[in-house]
Amino acid sequence: MPKNAPNPWKVGVVVDVPGAVYLAYVGNDSITSVTSSPSPNVGWTASGADFNGLNGHNHVNIYCASWTSPPGYVSLNINRSATSNDSINMMYVVAKGTCNLDLDSGGQAGNQASIVSQVTVCNGCLTPTAQNDLILSEGGQFDCTATSLVAPASNAFFATGWYNGNTVGGPQQVDENNMWAVIRNGSSLSPVTVTVGETCGSTAEGNWANRVAAYKTLP
């Protein structure tokens, strides 16, 4: 979503399986509400209170919704507190997913003074209480470029992604670097740690923010 985009920002998504839809939001303006047409039976519910990084940007939150019957095409409205900044939105449609939140890390933020090749954005920040949780991790950072996700100890991650805006011209802000991960804890109920590999130029990463939320899935 570019800066100065219309508010609400509209996103289309196809929901064609029974389960849940998750919106992982990383943006420089906070979300005030999420609505959709058709309306869901459950949601749209934030995993926790809005959280932002040390520089006042990189707001991170995860929203969940579910329908009793898959509605097909859904038009999503993301309402923000302001429109002067950009955001990056990742959406997941998950069969057998639920909006039954196991726990939320509440968000983490940090600052580093030297260039590193890895940054731990979630160090034991949540401990699943159920097996086979769907664990979503998201984050935003400044100056450095995310390149990879270092797997949790269980090697249970199965999807990662990152967006590196600092190498792309256009309407987005040039320091918008983001990362996402989808993790399954399997039978492990150990604390979750997420480490991101990154490449930094001559400037160390000044600020980062991250959030991790675990949702219980259907058998």
For residues 43 and 163, the model is more confident at 43
**Strand residue runs (E) in the chain:** 9-15, 19-27, 31-37, 42-46, 59-66, 72-80, 87-95, 101-104, 108-110, 118-126, 134-141, 145-150, 157-164, 177-184, 192-199, 208-215
Cis peptide before 180 (omega within 30 of 0): no
Q: What is the pLDDT of residue 93?
A: 95
Instruction: Quote the pLDDT of residue 105.
Output: 96
Residue boundaries of the structural domains of the chain: 9-215
Mean pLDDT of 171-196: 78
In degrees and rounded to multiples of 5, residue 197 shows phi and psi of: -80, 145
Distance (Å, whole) CA 180 – CA 122: 12
CB-CB contact of 156 with 191 (8 Å):
no
206 has a pLDDT exceeding 90: no
Percent of the chain at pLDDT > 90 equals 47
More confident residue, 162 or 26: 26
pLDDT of residue 156: 54
pLDDT at 20: 97
Q: Pick the more confident residue, 40 or 182.
A: 40
179 or 64: which leads in pLDDT: 64
CB 43 within 8 A of CB 122: no
Q: What is the pLDDT of residue 158?
A: 52
Whether 61 shows a pLDDT value over 60: the answer reads yes
